[in-house]
């Protein structure tokens, strides 16, 4: 292991490829050394932005003794094959969601990484945000009583404003449309709120812009104890605030439905006695930084990997229901 850790970006396919490359540039304990892409032009473009070399030779890159880890921002359909090679080469992995297209693929990668001593972290960034930390405290304390309902909405205008790349609408590469990508965030937040054990999944997908995959979606789930969760996402909304609402037998939490004087989203806690404002703490370190720390300390990100596996399970179930 080198100091600093030397990192390469594996593919400019995903829109977060540059973001994770810059995370490696900005972190004091990492150094970005290369961008690999099987599309030479796409790889050279990103490498030029990041100021590092570009390569199309994956085997040669992974054979480098001075390479410690990679960020994976390749097509989701390529994750298992690509990360299996990375793990066999003994390189650590920070990857864009989904970890794999199927739960079986997740299990394959997690098992192989554990056997090889490779640290894998999946980017689930909203779990580190202050509003999630505040919500976890409320849930852990049981303030809301028995949970009955949650709704998480996250949407943008990537399709209607046409700023998402065309490959995001290739169902064979992206495993679908909005729900498999942007929808991952409200999925893992819903699982944080209601738990990972789901009894039913019902999906409504529509294609507003005619690209052949869903760009507008709502998925409703239920839990064994009768709670209902609504997960909403899409690429066709220009001004939709990110919102969370959670209701229980003793109280409710609302986040994102109003802003304070400085434009920051407000969290409110309600009960039969009225509403109060919840203090939102500072964010935890970003997932990339947590990954770097796990490499240094040889810690396994067990909660992260468990949540990543559950995320894949629910997304796959939602997609299956939409196709039924």
Q: Which of 231, 191, 189 has the alpha carbon at shortest distance from 321?
A: 231
Check whether 174 has a pLDDT greater than 80: yes
Question: Could you read off the pLDDT of 46-64 as tens digits, one per residue?
Answer: 999 999 999 999 999 999 9
Question: Could you read off the pLDDT of 245-261 as tens digits, one per residue?
Answer: 999 999 999 999 999 99
Vertex 23 angle, CA 17 and 24, to 5°: 95
CB-CB contact of 11 with 74 (8 Å): yes
Check whether 184 has a pLDDT greater than 90: yes
Check whether 241 has a pLDDT greater than 70: yes
The pLDDT of residue 12 is 98
Torsion of CA 249, 284, 313, 23, to 10 degrees: 150
The pLDDT of residue 278 is 98
The pLDDT of residue 269 is 98
For the chain, domains (ranges, CATH) are: 5-123 (3.40.50.720), 130-282 (3.30.360.10)
Q: Which of 246, 312, 278 has the alpha carbon at shortest distance from 95?
A: 312
| Sheet containing strand 120-122, strands side by side | 53-55, 30-36, 5-10, 69-72, 92-95, 120-122
Question: Could you read off the pLDDT of 108-166 as tens digits, one per residue?
Answer: 999 999 999 999 999 999 999 999 999 999 999 999 999 999 999 999 999 999 999 99
Q: What is the pTM of this model?
A: 0.97
The pLDDT of residue 82 is 98
- Cα gap 61→54, rounded to integer Å: 10
Confidence of residue 3 (pLDDT cuts 50, 70, 90): confident
Average pLDDT, the chain: 97
The pLDDT of residue 293 is 97
Check whether 1 has a pLDDT greater than 70: no
Mean pLDDT value of segment 76-95: 98
């Amino acid at each position: 292991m080198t100091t600093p850790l030397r990192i390469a970006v594996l593919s400019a396919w995903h829109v977060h490829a540059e973001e994770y490359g810059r995370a490696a540039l900005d972190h004091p304990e990492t150094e970005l050394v290369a961008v690999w892409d099987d599309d030479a032009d796409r790889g050279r473009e990103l490498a030029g932005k990041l100021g590092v070399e570009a390569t199309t030779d994956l085997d040669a890159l992974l054979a480098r003794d001075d390479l410690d880890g990679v960020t994976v921002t390749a097509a989701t359909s390529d994750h298992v094959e690509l990360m299996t090679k990375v793990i066999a080469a003994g390189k650590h992995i920070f990857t864009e969601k989904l970890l794999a297209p199927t739960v079986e693929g997740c299990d394959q990668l997690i098992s192989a990484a554990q056997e090889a001593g490779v640290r894998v972290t999946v980017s689930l960034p909203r779990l580190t945000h202050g509003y999630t930390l505040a919500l976890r405290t409320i849930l852990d304390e049981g303030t809301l009583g028995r949970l009955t309902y949650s709704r998480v909405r996250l949407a943008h205008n990537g399709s209607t404003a046409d700023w998402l790349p065309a490959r995001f609408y290739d169902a064979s590469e992206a495993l679908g449309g909005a729900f498999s990508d942007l929808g991952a965030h409200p999925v893992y937040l819903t699982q944080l709120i209601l738990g990972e054990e789901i009894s039913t999944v019902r999906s409504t997908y529509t294609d507003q812009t005619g690209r052949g995959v869903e760009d507008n979606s709502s998925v409703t789930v239920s839990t064994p104890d009768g709670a209902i969760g609504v997960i909403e996402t899409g690429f066709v909304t220009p001004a939709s605030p990110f919102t969370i609402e959670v209701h229980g037998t003793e109280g409710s939490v609302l986040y994102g439905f109003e802003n304070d004087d400085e434009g920051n989203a407000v969290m409110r806690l309600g009960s039969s006695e009225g509403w109060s404002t919840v203090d939102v703490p500072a964010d935890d370190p970003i997932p990339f930084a947590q990954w770097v720390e796990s490499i240094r300390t040889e810690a396994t990100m067990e909660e992260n990997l468990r949540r990543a596996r559950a995320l894949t399970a629910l997304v796959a179930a939602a997609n299956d229901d939409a196709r039924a």
